[in-house]
A and B are shown apart, each in its own frame.
Chain A
Amino acid sequence: MQTNPHTSSSSFSGQDLHLSYGGPMIVEGLTITIPTQAITAIIGPNGCGKSTLLKALARILIPEQGKVEVNEVDIHSQSTKEIARQIGLLPQNPRSPDGITVSDLIQRGRYPHQGIFRQWSREDEASVNNALSVTGLTNFSDKPIDELSGGQRQRVWIAMLLAQETPIMLLDEPTTHLDIAHQIEVLDLLKELTRQHNRTIVMVLHDINLAVRYADNLIAMRDGKIKTFGEPHNVVTAQMMHEVFSIQAQILQDPVSGSPLCIPVIKNT
């Protein structure tokens, strides 16, 4: 796969974000600069606002106050297709139409690059074929998605995101519902994308130990605020686990990678 000059961005940030779904503020005054061409994982307890933050970064949620900027331009000041060529999202529970085939779904990822008269250019075709091969789905392209396994289905959605060719990819819990082998498969793929294709990835992850292994940076959130932000070995400490998750945990050194390994201490044992 050749590196596409359009798929690397220079800056991505959220400034003074106030976020709510019409009711109480979930995130209040959050500012973050996302490191580009790296993987950033957001961790935190349920309801801490991590998915909300991701939705704001993906411009699904319009901030009550503050702004999200790509290359120092407010994303809400740009046309929808223009911004769709820069930021892509894999939602937590993506919805696929009944009976849709793998290639049909992935092709829809090309929408922001198409127009009324430009419906299936050479770039579209190359991009979809590339997305199929990177995710190892070439042989499945004519299969209905309903017939695939959970791991394969997740790969189809990632392939669609790849076909969108955005420098920034946001993923909301991309490994939920997957077994350990498929979790690793998906995360390996994402890692390859940042290393070889300069993509900027932000994802919400529940498994702290996987987040530590795969992310270059961690954001630990609680009550709509960022508690700590930085490289995994600086973020994952017994104190952070207590402050963010309210649990007692021991932090060991992972014998395989040398990164921190979090072992929760369970009461009554």
Chain B
Amino acid sequence: MHYLAITTPTLQRSLTVLAGICLTILLIQLADRIQPRSYTFRWKNISSRFQLRVIWMSLGAIIVITILVGVGLIVGDYPIPASKAIATALWDRNGEYDFIVNSLRFPRIIVAILAGMCFASSGLIFQSLINNPLVSPDIIGINSGAAVLAVAILAAGGNIAYLPYAAFLGALLTAALIYLLSWKRGISATRLVLVGIGINAVLGAIITYITIKYPIERVVAAARWQAGTLFGATWDDARTLSIGLLLLLPPAFFLTTRLRILQLGDETAITIGSKIERDRLALLAVASLLAALAVSVVGPLGFVALIVPQAARLLLGSITGGVLIFTALLGGFFLLGADLIAQRLFAPVMLPAGVITATFGGPYFLYLLARYNRAN
């Protein structure tokens, strides 16, 4: 890393980004070579099946994330030699870089990964449940719900410590409202999406109203929060996210089996032995909680929940527990990558990570929309 440190920062930056892109392409190429075979495990009455491809690709994602973590610790406005950065992060608590590595960079990296995991797994559940690749928690208004309460608190000059709680509450209330408004002798996926889009529009109007009505200096903070930023992420944030993920991912993992049945439509699902309303409510609750959790910590970061599950399904096919785990990992990778780019692209000016995810996500969304229209 020393020889890189003496080259110009721009070159160093470009090389890092280039290396990241090459690595990603290489892994995708490798993944395509793996045969879609599965391995069956049976012991007495216990049996299970794994797609080998999912396992290899998840391992690949973990490796790429680990590399990216290393990169994130090393690069920055204040470059730190690789050996020192890693030593400081892992065991050396008394080194000269302790504050930069362990208080600024490392928690931010971990928060990016965990929030990305939440958004992506939430998005995958929404998309699979509603059987529409253009749906995600940000599109049906859950992120906006979080934003309304959060922006209200910022604009009213309330205590910023309540922000995460307000956002979490806002997201959950919105999810509940969407669910109740779409209930009519059961929940139909189409109605849920339409109600969600409507609510999203209304909430958007409320946010605009608040930002116009209140003094500009408070509104700037609100606007910054709304774009979704990892600036100032702390170990407390990382702890909140990891506890939440530990509580939510296992149920989500086991619910995928039921989700696969719900995907067949209500009539088939009922006759195949599914309690559809109960299962659907459970899945919507888990997916909403995952989104609410991430929004409460990093703000309504758009597009992670939309495009990462898309990419994961393109690579691995329809949802299983394994695909959910891989999607979560891919989300962690994506948000961490986006945040590193956001920090370094116009350094020393730091962009909110949401700007980068939207820059990549917007065009991709249009591409999906075009492709989806053609398919129909």
Seen from chain A, the residues whose Cβ lies within 8 Å of a Cβ on chain B are 22, 55, 58-60, 80-81, 83-85, 87-89, 91, 94-101, 104-105, 108-109, 111-112, 114, 116-122, 124-125, 142, 164, 170
Contacts and interface: CB of A to CB of B under 8 A. Distances in A.
A87 B49 contact: no
B376 to A, nearest CB: 11
A121 B48 CA distance: 8
B240 interface: no
22 contacts: A58-B270, A60-B266, A60-B270, A80-B270, A80-B275, A87-B271, A89-B268, A94-B265, A95-B131, A95-B265, A97-B131, A98-B318, A108-B272, A109-B272, A111-B273, A117-B45, A118-B45, A119-B47, A122-B47, A142-B36, A164-B272, A170-B271
B122 interface: no
Given A117-B47, A142-B36, 16 more contacts: A59-B271, A60-B271, A80-B273, A88-B272, A89-B268, A91-B267, A94-B265, A94-B268, A96-B264, A101-B317, A111-B273, A112-B273, A114-B257, A117-B45, A120-B47, A122-B42
Contacts of B317: 99-101, 104
Contacts, number: 98
Contact of A118 (B46, B266, B273, B274): B46
B133 interface: yes
Given A97-B131, A122-B42, A111 B318 contact: no
B318 A100 contact: yes
A73 to B, nearest CB: 16
A142 B53 CA distance: 15
B213 interface: no
B218 interface: no
A142 B38 CA distance: 13
A249 to B, nearest CB: 33
Contacts of B128: 97
Given A89-B268, A91-B268, A83 B313 contact: no
Nearest to A166: B271
Nearest to B372: A98
A59 B254 CA distance: 26
